[in-house]
Amino acid sequence: MKFTKMHGAGNDYVYVECFSQPLPNDLPRLAREISHRRFGVGGDGLILIRPSEIADARMQMFNADGSEGEMCGNGIRCVAKYVHDHDIARKESLRIETGAGVLNLSLQVDDNGLVDQVTVDMGIPELIGPKIPTLIVGNDNSGRVVSVPVDFDGRTVDVTCVSMGNPHCVIFVEQATDELVLGLGPKIESDARFPKRVNVEFVEVISPTEVRQRTWERGSGETWACGTGASAVCVAGVLSGRTERKILNHLLGGDLTLEWIGETDHVMMTGPATEVFSGQWPADVQTS
């Protein structure tokens, strides 16, 4: 099976193009094995680039633990780069089908005719608690969960919950320490008040237009970037009065630009997409 390793701001996945080769068997197991950073290719998960009847391509993603996710903001930028650069649909505006719906993407092409930056219309954020989903109740009758103090494992933090096609719990902190990200992050991810588990963002506010983010990602652990998470942070910053609608977000693997547009309510995300290498995955490789 042919594969390609790609990353968006350090959020790395193994990509398998399913236009010219058959869909692999036992996808959750393949995701666990090929994502293993010691015995596999290594990555935050597996992304399939599949044909679509309603868009230029379909993205199907699996986390490193084999669970299937609805969307990945960094992953979809890489899917767009692959679709363009490998001549599946060589145009500068693409539509990609995901588990969270069809998204529109605008591609920036370098002097060699290859994509280096992609802007993604991430759509309208979901802010109503049960639809995110979360069982945490907001402070008013709006149904929103904004800056609500919640106790996790004996520690109280203010949380703002947003779905960008997948659930996020955003926590603004003075410093995003290992104790918070690696210690509290996994406990929040699997907390019963998040029925589908949750991605957790710990965010330092540098200024009203600039933040720094670390993410504990559902099913993958800490990742170097999270595009849907960065989008959720943009929304949460506005809702909590901490940031403006357009921000620069510094993640471990690079920077993303986010804007929550008031006229349309859509979140726009711009960031890099990088192809690293390609290879052949033997059918008989097993790591578990």
Choose the catalytic residue: 78, 161, 169, 226: 226
Domain tally for the chain? 2
Closest by CA to 81, choosing from 57, 100, 97, 102, is 57
Is 72 catalytic? The answer is yes
Residue 25 has a pLDDT of: 86
Residues 174, 202 within the same domain: yes
What percent of the chain clears pLDDT 70, i.e. is strictly above it?
Answer: 98
Q: By residue range, what is the domain housing residue 255?
A: 129-265
Residues 113, 235 within the same domain: no
Residues 221, 157 within the same domain: yes
Residues 185, 86 within the same domain: no
Cβ(176)–Cβ(213) under 8 Å? yes
The pLDDT tens digits of the residues spanning 28-74 come to: 999 999 999 999 999 999 999 999 999 999 999 999 999 999 999 99
Distance of alpha carbon 193 from alpha carbon 251, whole angstroms? 27
Residues 112, 181 within the same domain: no
Residues 167, 114 within the same domain: no
Instruction: Find all residues with CB under 8 Å of 245, minimum gap 6, and list them.
Output: 234, 238, 259, 260, 261, 262
Q: Looking at residues 186-213, what average pLDDT do you find?
A: 98
The CATH number of the domain where 45 resides is what? 3.10.310.10
Residue 285 has a pLDDT of: 52
Residues 251, 139 within the same domain: yes
Choose the catalytic residue: 18, 72, 161, 169: 72
Residue 167 lies in a domain: yes
Residues 62, 156 within the same domain: no
